[in-house]
Structure 1
Amino acid sequence: MTAMSTLFEHNLAEHQQLFSNLGSLTGVVQQAGSLAGDALKAGGKLMFCGNGGSAADSQHLAAELTGRFIKDRRPLAAVALSTDTSALTCIGNDYSFDEVFARQVAGLGRAGDVLIGISTSGNSRNVIRAVEEARRAGVRVVGLLGRDGGVLAPLCDVAIVVPSTITARIQEAHILIGHTLCGLVEQQLGLA
């Protein structure tokens, strides 16, 4: 057996162990899907934010909604706050990196919208600031988190905490959960 196949088998075993326990999140995933679907039904939008791999997940999930997910349907109002490099660099330079999502939430968020903050640690300062700003604006909050949920968990209307301390496994679970949220939204809107 090569070191590479051993690493793959190790990663696969970790993945399978974590995924076999994700059923405990069914209720909170359903709640998050309902919250997101209700916002879109009422004419609101979904905003996603996160750093690094979570920024990529934000873009991925927003694209599933503005594009299509299960089948062809109308576009849904979703935006990833990590995609506008001019806004990120302006806000980061003029204020601080902690504010890059909060300023966008303040400018774009309206009561009835939903912010989905993604953080594998639950402690990303700029996501925390975005959630704090969302709360002030009447924007509901879903946290897609890991470890123990960190500082973010109690700030969220719905906190989905993946029970792992391994960042890569948490991110793998986040994508499954995110895809499930997209499917739940489509079902709730009668589009699937």
Structure 2
Amino acid sequence: MQEIVKEIYTESIQAQIAAGEVLPGALETAAFTVAQSLINGNKLLCCGASSCQMLADHMANLLVNFYETERPCLPAIALNPVLTHLSSYAEQNDSDAFARQVRAFAQQGDLLMVFSINGNEKIVISAIEAALTKDMRVIALVGDDGGELSGLLGPNDVEIRVPSKRPSRIVESHLFNIHCLSELIDMTLFPQDEH
């Protein structure tokens, strides 16, 4: 059993090293995009497909509260995958849950940050399509080959694509990338003297 645990650690470390080789530029661009949007008085809407929803909740929470250094609250909302107030509608159209909230809450200039495993989850695809109708920029954290999601992104959007096909490694990398983004956003908006 211990050897299996060591193999899992090794695989995870190798996935992080591979991501570290290809993602720094995208993470820098995403952090600057979020910071600029917040400076302009806009907000960040976050959503995630199935196992990634906790990541969307975490990202919004880190901005509203703080990452490691206490600072003013930043406007971020984690969209709810369940439209409880429209339960009969939601049962028939669960892939539209995020899209309806984007249409209801988002304004031009806001950002949509989506979390996905392979880029083919309908609930995330419909959210991006709704964001595009509002001229919103999209930051997409995705894995595998990016799926249908990648084809929806334009030149002003940011794709943070984890170079892995394994869902567990993708989720681990997304969490790491959230923390990296949070630190970069804080450094951009609230620079501190290191001395």
Normalising by the residue count of structure 2, what TM-score does the alignment of the two structures yield? Answer: 0.90
Q: Which runs of 5+ in 2 are unaligned?
A: none
- Which is further off, 18-27 or 54-63? 18-27
**What is residue 182 of structure 1 aligned with on the other side?**
182
**What is residue 33 of structure 1 aligned with on the other side?**
31
Following superposition of structure 1 onto structure 2, how do residues 120-139 of structure 1 map, counting pairs within 5 Å?
A: 120-139=117-136
SS class of match (2:32): helix
**What is residue 13 of structure 2 aligned with on the other side?**
16
- Checking the alignment, whether the CA contact within 8 Å between 1:82 and 1:88 is kept in structure 2 is no
State the shift of 1:70 in Å: 2.0
Structure 2 Cα separation of the partners of residues 181 and 128 of structure 1: 23
Q: Which runs of 5+ in 1 are unaligned?
A: none
**What is residue 63 of structure 1 aligned with on the other side?**
61
Name the count of aligned residue pairs: 188
Deviation track 1:42-81 (CA, whole Å, cap 9, x = no partner) reads 0101111112321001111111111111211111001110
- Checking the alignment, whether the CA contact within 8 Å between 1:149 and 1:161 is kept in structure 2 is yes
SS class of match (2:142): strand
Deviation track 1:85-118 (CA, whole Å, cap 9, x = no partner) reads 525746523x501100000000011111110111
State the shift of 1:190 in Å: 1.7
Structure 2 Cα separation of the partners of residues 42 and 91 of structure 1: 35
Amino acid paired to 2:67: F
CA 1:67 to 1:124, structure 2 compared with 1: closer, same or farther past 3 Å?
A: same
Determine what percentage of the aligned residue pairs are the same residue: 31
Following superposition of structure 1 onto structure 2, how do residues 102-113 of structure 1 map, counting pairs within 5 Å?
A: 102-113=99-110
Structure 2 Cα separation of the partners of residues 87 and 19 of structure 1: 40
Amino acid paired to 1:154: G
Q: Indicate yes or no: 2:124 matched with 1:141.
A: no
State the shift of 1:148 in Å: 0.5
**What is residue 42 of structure 2 aligned with on the other side?**
44
**What is residue 171 of structure 2 aligned with on the other side?**
171
**What is residue 73 of structure 2 aligned with on the other side?**
75
**What is residue 54 of structure 1 aligned with on the other side?**
52
Q: Which runs of 4+ in 1 moved over 6 A?
A: none
- Checking the alignment, whether the CA contact within 8 Å between 2:139 and 2:159 is kept in structure 1 is yes
